Amino acid sequence: MADNAGHDDDLLEFLDDSEVPASPNPEQLRPWRVLVVDDDLDVHKATELAMQGLLIEGQPLHFLHARSGQEARELLATEKDLAVALLDVVMESEDAGLQLVRFIREDLCENAVRIVLRTGQPGYAPEIETVQAYDINDYKTKSELTRTRLYTVLTAAVRSYRQICSLESSRQGLEMVVEASTQLSKVRGLQRYADGVLHQLCSLLGVLPEGVVCAQTGADLGASRVIAAAGQFLGFTDSTLSNLAMPALRERLTRCLRERASFFDDGLALYFGLGGDRAMVALVDLKRPLAPMEEQLLRAFSANVAVGFENVLLYGQLLDQAYNDQLLQLPNRNRFVELLDKNLKDPAGITLALVDIDEFSDINDAFGHRFGDQVLQAVVVRLHNVLGKDAAMARVGPDAFGVLGPDQRVCAETIAVVFDEPFAVAGEKLQLSATSGLVRLTDSAAQGSELLLDAQIALKRAKQHNRGSSQYFSPAMGNDARERFKLLKGLRAGFEENRLFVVYQPQVDLTTSQAVGVEALLRWRTEEGKFVPPDQFIPLAEQSGLIINIGEFVLRTACFQLKKMEDQGMRDFRMCVNISLAQFRHPGFVGSLQKALRDSGIQAKDLELEITESMAMEDTELVLHLLADIKRSGVTVAIDDFGTGFSSLSHLRQLDVERLKIDRAFVRESQSSTAGATIAQMVINLGRALGLTVIAEGIETEEQRVYLQSLGCHEGQGYLFARPMQADQLAKWLADGQPRGA
């Protein structure tokens, strides 16, 4: 479809040549290639005529022509390096020009070529989104493209094209640099670099490679080593300077290193100082004198190569630190993971062991870290001696070693032999033990670091049973660990998404059957609506540290619920909240407790914290200090699960608590077991003797209630009275007169 509207003669207004620059010899310059696509032949002629003899950025223009979008597609299939495309919008179809733009950008992936749309019908202008999406440089109506304006549009497009090409060239150059740098990460990067320096040096001088590169790594010049060689010197690679069989070569290298200078006389020697006692020397057996220009060139070459050597050495040091343990001169965890990946190709008969020295931190605390380092070195020597050369070893933790080798060598029995005899360290005899987790590679589908995780799972299982023992990994262990991880992940998400909530179980006076308080209990309902038992997720929360935030949530929720009940007329009503060991030990616990009291505005005497008997026995000094802070705030304390631990009478007196809580196991056995009845009786008698209130949990039958009351138990809690319930249900239960067994 022709875009003519009677203005073809005025399509380009020719101005005086003085208004645009011209070139005296344009045919000698490389032209910018411009594609003109238009179904009007006059447009092609006018465009080329208007730009005749003009230069853009010092280069002429070369035009290619197509009369339709299809013809342009065929031309673009063979023509490359186009700088600009001048496209008519409406040709064989109303959007032929835009379809061609899509073809250039999407099918040909030509992102550098600049696109200028031209039309005789302004109503066909592309949408702004199209201009942005397909990187269209400009849009002009043909009537406004005078000669000067066309030149301006093309100049802007060419400059943009040149900048894009320059950026692309820089990107490709950067890729080459990155690729070259990657090569340095390989095992013999320094040797390859030195060999390349030697060959470049010879190429620069126009001679065949004939020379050596020698590396000095200390004050002893004789220990300097040839790391690259070519020509007649090839056999000297890896030789030390003192062992070189050619005296003349040895003398020249020694002179260069000793005087720390380059020599341009017979037998060219270039010195590359790298700081300290490190240096490189490149020596070329040159049979002719150097020209002055060559000497200047070599000095510049030396400066650049010295920086290159420093970079290679630095990279080598970083690589060494990244993959090797500097103290024990063993591979570290990163290198060991690579080794594991390699052995997975043929895992039959191979075992991985994770060996962890027991109580190593106590050794550091008692004797100091320097002594601890010597202990680790002694263990490494013993491991090497016992396991032999067939076993690979790495340091994978502060006091843990990874061992990989044949099943018959890397096994529980062999590891036990390593620690049978005492270790002699700095004049001391030290008996050590180690716990190990082992994985037969054929028993695990894991790879690399995941295989180490399987060994860690087995190690943890061994520590749970008995320190100093060994445990082999089984798929069942892995499944259990993954399920625990999945559960912990779900718990984190559940807490963040408010799927954890608090329920309340009443506590009653056994004589009057009146509610005297409630215990706040945590519940978790998953996204699918299923409840996860607390004995499954609470230990995970404690191990992960999540219990700190969850515990604070429970404490604050319980305090605000108690305040709501106080406002509704409940007086002298107790709210009991369980506190975990991790919470209790947290340095901010007392502060968070005081803040919860202030924010909620409750009577502190109505809040009771429950700690387990085992917690009370954990760290007497810490517990007594914290309990004193808690008591000063006005909050009371109860000992939960009493009877399951080993508290002494004197210790219990020191704790200064208000209540003892009999564990549900003794309540359950109180009528069916003599031992259970005896313990229940002892706890009640002890509590009453110390002036403490005794409460029994887990009361499910009337017979249990009557029996415990007859023993002198004050209070009870259990399904006989009420199940744990949410706040609105609790309010109804209290309002209905506390029906038993609700």
- pLDDT tens-digit map of 431-472: 999 999 999 988 877 777 788 888 988 998 888 888 889 999
The residue among 328 and 676 whose pLDDT is bigger is 328
Fold of 8-170: Rossmann fold (3.40.50)
What's the mean pLDDT in 60-80?
Answer: 90
Q: Which of the 8 DSSP states describes residue 243?
A: G
Query: HEC states along 77-110?
Result: CCCCCCCEEEEECCCCCCCHHHHHHHHHHHHCCC
Answer yes or no: is pLDDT of 631 > 50. Answer: yes
| HEC readout, 148-210 | HHHHHHHHHHHHHHHHHHHHHHHHHHHHHHHHHHHHCCCCCHHHHHHHHHHHHHHHHHCCCCC
**In this structure, CATH architecture of domain 497-735:** Alpha-Beta Barrel (3.20)
In this prediction, residues 216-238 reach a mean pLDDT of 85
DSSP 355: E
Residues 6+ apart with CB under 8 A from 33: 62, 64, 79, 81, 82, 83
| C-alpha distance from residue 215 to each of 237, 285, 702, 705 (Å) | 11, 18, 91, 89
Rounded Cα–Cα distance for residues 497 and 489 (Å): 12
Q: Under DSSP, is residue 526 helix (H, G, I), strand (E, B) or coil?
A: coil
pLDDT digits (tens, 9 = 90+) for 479-517: 777 778 888 888 898 888 899 999 999 999 999 889 999
DSSP state of 647: -
Q: How confident is the model at residue 414 (pLDDT cuts 50, 70, 90)?
A: very high
pLDDT, position 130? 67
- SS3 letters for 404-455? EEECCCCCHHHHHHHCCCCEEECCEEECCCEEEEEEEHHHCCCCCHHHHHHH
Instruction: DSSP letter for 389, please.
Output: T
The rounded distance, in Å, linking the Cα atoms of 657 and 636 is: 7
- CB of 716 within 8 A of CB of 508? yes
Question: Measured between alpha carbons, how far apart are the two ends of the chain, in Å?
Answer: 87
Binned at pLDDT 50, 70 and 90, residue 18 comes out as very low
Tell me the pLDDT band of 735, cut-offs 50, 70 and 90: confident
Percent of the chain surpassing pLDDT 90: 30
Give the domain 326-473 fold: Alpha-Beta Plaits (3.30.70)
pLDDT for residue 27: 41
Assigned CATH for 189-323: 3.30.450.40
Q: What residue segments make up the domains of the chain, in order of their start?
A: 8-170, 189-323, 326-473, 497-735
Q: What is the pLDDT of residues 544-599, one digit of tens each?
A: 889 999 999 999 999 999 999 999 888 889 999 999 888 988 889 999 999 999 99
The CA-based diameter of the chain, rounded to the nearest angstrom, is 122
Cα–Cα distance for residue pair 697/706, rounded to 1 Å? 14
Position 186 scores a pLDDT of: 43
Distance separating alpha carbons of residues 738 and 742, to the nearest angstrom: 8
pLDDT, position 553:
95
Q: Which long-range contacts (CB under 8 A, 24 or more apart) does 595-598 make?
A: 596/552, 596/555, 596/556, 596/559, 597/559, 597/633, 597/634, 597/635
How far apart are the C-alpha atoms of 739 and 552, rounded to whole Å? 32
Q: Mean of the per-residue pLDDT values for the chain?
A: 82
Q: 449-465 and 475-496 helices cross at what angle (nearest 10)?
A: 100
- Amino acid letter, 647: S
pTM for the structure as a whole: 0.51
